[in-house]
């Protein structure tokens, strides 16, 4: 995927490479955990302690066939990232992070739209699929405003696997959200 510049906001989109791993981990951690995460609205600090991801996991996503970590830069600085992966006729969207000081400014909408466009055009995906912690009702509502629908299907939270975080409560689980990408082509 060649770098693309959005002329409206001077944003550059590009696929991550191995040299980006450390910066991606730092961005994801800043958006979801610790004090920096509290500056944005996407924090999970009230639900989880510990890390959100690590260098080994990010490197594996970058190298896996049918997988892409999409980076968003402004003035050479990493401002957002997401992971998209081809899964048959669907694409999976995850590890979405926007720098806390960029949140509420429209960058997240732009990144999500770019990921959907890429999945449709490059992989001919018909559906975008994601999982969101059920207790993140504000985040689920944000996705619903962007055309995602709740499925009522759930996946368990990986309790006991501290590389995904240390739960602060015992009732966490992921809800599957879907968006039909075929309608976007019409």
Residue 8 confidence (pLDDT) above 50: no
Residue 4 confidence (pLDDT) above 60: no
Please say whether the beta carbons of 129 and 92 come within 8 A.
yes
Residues 6+ apart with CB under 8 A from 174: 131, 132, 133, 134, 154, 155, 156, 157
Alpha-carbon gap, residue 84 to 73, rounded angstroms: 17
Please say whether the beta carbons of 94 and 82 come within 8 A.
yes
Neighbours of 13 (CB within 10 A): 21
pLDDT tens-digit series, residues 44-95: 667 877 778 899 999 999 999 999 999 999 999 999 999 999 999 999 999 9
Residue 118, token pair as written in the block: 């890429």
Domain ranges of the chain: 4-185
The residue-averaged pLDDT of 96-100 equals 93
Please report the pLDDT score of residue 104 as a whole number. 82
Chain center to CA of 171: 22
User: 4-185 has which fold?
Assistant: Aminopeptidase (3.40.630)
Percentages helix, strand, coil for the chain, rounded to the nearest 5? Answer: 35, 35, 30
Please report how the helices 55-63 and 21-32 are oriented relative to each other, as an axis angle in degrees rounded to 10.
120
Strand ranges for 76-183 from DSSP E: 77-87, 90-98, 127-133, 149-156, 166-167, 173-180
pLDDT tens-digit series, residues 111-138: 999 999 999 999 999 999 999 999 999 9
């Amino acid at each position: 995927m060649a770098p693309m510049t959005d002329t409206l906001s001077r944003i550059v989109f590009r696929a991550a490479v191995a040299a980006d791993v450390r910066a991606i981990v730092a961005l994801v951690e800043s958006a979801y955990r610790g004090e920096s995460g509290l500056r944005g609205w996407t924090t999970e600090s009230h639900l989880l302690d510990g890390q959100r991801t690590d260098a080994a996991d990010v490197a594996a996503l970058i190298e896996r066939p049918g997988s892409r970590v999409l980076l968003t830069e402004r003035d050479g600085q990493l401002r957002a990232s997401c992971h998209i992966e081809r899964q048959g006729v669907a694409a999976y969207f995850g590890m979405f992070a926007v720098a806390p000081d960029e949140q509420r400014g429209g960058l997240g909408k732009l990144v999500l739209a770019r990921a959907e466009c890429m999945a449709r055009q490059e992989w001919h995906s018909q559906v975008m699929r994601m999982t969101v912690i059920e207790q993140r009702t504000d985040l689920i509502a944000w996705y619903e405003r962007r055309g995602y629908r709740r499925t009522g299907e759930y996946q368990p939270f990986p309790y006991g696997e501290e590389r995904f975080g240390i739960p602060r409560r015992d009732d966490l689980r992921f809800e599957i959200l879907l968006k039909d990408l075929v309608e976007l082509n019409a």
